[in-house]
Amino acid sequence: MLRVTMEGLDHHALTSDGEPLTEATEFLSALKVRGLSPRTVRAYAYDLLIFYRWMRASNRTLRELASADLLNFIAAQRATGAAPKSINRQLSTARLLYRFWMESDLGSGPGVSLPGPYYKGPGRDHYLGIHKLSRRGARKLRVVEPRKLVEPLTPEQVRSFLRSLSRYRDLAIVHFMLLCGLRSREVLQLNLGDIVFGDSQVRVPGKGDRDRALPLPDVLGHALRQYQQLERPRRCSEPRLFVVLQGEQRGRPMTTAGLRSLFRHRRRRGVLAMANPHRFRHTFGADMARAGVRLPILQQMMGHADLKTTLLYVRLSMADVAEEFHRATSKIARRYRR
């Protein structure tokens, strides 16, 4: 069995006998030197873990890999029930590892079915019509990912969830996602000094060390003041903004598990079956788009490196489509009414 260990911020890939896998370990070290975050390096490490387990089960080594072997890897991952998005990420990691050691690309060759090189056609991108599409040669092997439509929460659902909260801390956490579009990890990483009440701003430690500043809504500022004055332990010296309020861990930083329980307990109580941090962040993106916020500004507010990621958040929901459809059909019906 292969495993990944951590010493400080360094990741090490080991065999079942405890012997280091030099190929994987040096690749992870190179990622760390490039300045990738520990979370990103850890994600690469676990992708490599899955890939090396498959190579061992298939009696393959990195130097012996052929392009067609990736199809066998895809089939093995599909058999385990892995999601297409996860498989594509693992394929990307495997190709980077191969290029790191072999100085050549893996993914095209005999026995591999690839997407058509000009599948988007000539012209401009179909989202904004701004960028010209360049013709590409052979594309990389990927699994088709189904396009999932994430429905934003309705105002009634949001109000129902907010009414179920009994602490100012929890109210502030949800408002950070709903009114500022923060990721759950960004909420947990907020420090006391990141809240600037005088300027009504919050400094957000973003993904990939891309920090950003956002306006602090009045309702959120009020919840934060009440939380700090009434709920946060007075002798707490922890710099993190959100801490545990009761039990043996009182005053310690709030954990990911603790944040998830805030939503999970309400799902069990039937408050909102779709309640999760990402759904509130998605609702923020949809609300901003409906309000007419320009995409470049929304991209900065949500902390996205690529505008295409922002577009995934602002695609019309079925409720939006139905509303526009009924508005249009009512006008058409009046036009043809006798």
Domain end point (choices 275, 296, 327): 275
Closest CA to 89 of 55, 29, 133, 49: 49
pLDDT of the residue at 264 = 82
49 within some domain: yes
pLDDT of the residue at 118 = 47
217 within some domain: yes
332 within some domain: no
116 within some domain: no
Q: How many domains are there within the chain?
A: 2
Q: 10-residue block means of pLDDT along the chain (338 residues)?
A: 57 59 86 85 89 91 88 94 93 92 74 53 56 58 77 88 93 96 94 95 83 94 97 93 94 93 75 79 89 87 85 66 79 80
CATH assignment of the domain containing 15: 1.10.150
DSSP state, residue 267? H
pLDDT of the residue at 150 = 67
Q: Are residues 84 and 177 in the same domain?
A: no
Domain end point (choices 275, 299, 329): 275
CATH assignment of the domain containing 259: 1.10.443.10
Which residues form the domain of 198?
155-275
Q: Are residues 162 and 263 in the same domain?
A: yes
Any bridge partners for residue 203, and if so which? 213
Domain end point (choices 230, 247, 275): 275
Q: In sequence order, which residues have a C-beta less than 8 Å from that of residue 49 and are 6 or more positions away? A: 2, 3, 4, 13
Q: In sequence order, which residues have a C-beta less than 8 Å from that of residue 230 and are 6 or more positions away? A: 168
Amino acid letter, 183: R
pTM of the model: 0.72
Closest CA to 299 of 314, 317, 321, 315: 314
Query: Residue 124 in contact with residue 130, Cβ under 8 Å?
Result: yes
134 within some domain: no
Distance CA 297, CA 299 (A): 5
306 within some domain: no
118 within some domain: no
289 within some domain: no
Q: Are residues 168 and 92 in the same domain?
A: no
